[in-house]
Homo-oligomer: A and B are copies of this chain.
Amino acid sequence: MSDLGFATDAASRTSADRVFEALQDAIVRGDIAPGSRIGETELAERFGTSRGPLREALRRLESRRLVERTPHVGVRIAALDYATLIELYYLREALEGMAAHLAALHMTADEVISLKTLLAAHEQDEALQADTAYFQQEGDLDFHYRIIQGSHNGALSQLLIGELYHRIRMYRYQFSAYANRPQKAFAEHQRIVEAIEARDGDFAEMLMRRHISSARQNIERRLKETS
């Protein structure tokens, strides 16, 4: 998937760009333990470059809050905690609510058809695999990506997909069991698409906000049960 807003021409990709993407992926997937501290020399060797480009990559990852920096001490891989996850859900509720609203107003007919096709595919797959979490999660992201892109608001897309979603995915990879119930989420997806198809911006926004809000409440509920 394209990482909006940065040049990714395969040909003229610079070493700093490559290590940025590779390191980001390693962090998001959990190949490097959250909260751990790794030296620049070690990282540079691991990614086959020198400390110069590596430090440039670290600065960008710092901006995305995937690493935390302390001057003269070093960088630490971002730690994951539930409080921050909850905060991110409020951000998603606001931003994706707006995205759904704008998508209802600005999506092209083709984009709506493509979105419905995606949902039909999900329905097929769900019918077969009942409650498989992984597909649902990736499929869920796919669905949300489409809505965001459908807003036709570049700043909004860049913010959500280019910066926020990496942190979301990091939590998904490493806090495995927190997804909303697949069938419930799927039904909510369907209603959102209906509202978009009806070009009802306010309703689409409301449905999207409730969709994300209920996911957040689901996490908060589990959090109380297990503590």
> Cβ of A12: which chain B residues have Cβ within 8 Å of it?
71-72
In the bound complex, do residue A14 and residue B91 qualify as a contact, i.e. CB atoms below 8 Å apart? no
A90, B63: Cβ atoms under 8 Å? no
Give chain B residues whose Cβ lies under 8 Å from the Cβ of A65.
Answer: 5, 158
Q: How large is the interface on A (under 10, 10 to 19, 20 to 34, 35 or more residues)?
A: 35 or more
Instruction: Please judge, given known A-B contacts A52-B52, A71-B7, whether A154 and B84 are in contact too, CB under 8 Å.
Output: yes
The answer, among B64, B84, B94, B95, for a CB contact under 8 Å with A63, is B64
The CA-CA distance from A102 to B91 in the complex, in Å, is 11
- Residues in A1-31 with C-beta less than 8 Å from chain B: 5-7, 9, 12-14, 16-17
Contact B155 A88 (CB under 8 A): yes
Interface digits, A79-110 against B, CB 8 Å rule (1 contact, 0 not)? Answer: 00000100110110111011000100000000
Residues of B within 8 Å of A97, CB to CB, are: 94
Instruction: Give the nearest-CB partner of A11 in chain B.
Output: B71
- Asked if A226 is at the interface (CB within 8 A of a chain B CB), the reply is no
Q: CA of A163 to CA of B91 in the docked complex: distance in angstroms? A: 14
- Where the two chains meet, the residues of A that have a C-beta atom closer than 8 Å to any C-beta of B are 5-7, 9, 12-14, 16-17, 52, 55-57, 59-60, 62-65, 69-72, 84, 87-88, 90-91, 93-95, 97-98, 102, 153-156, 158-159, 163-164
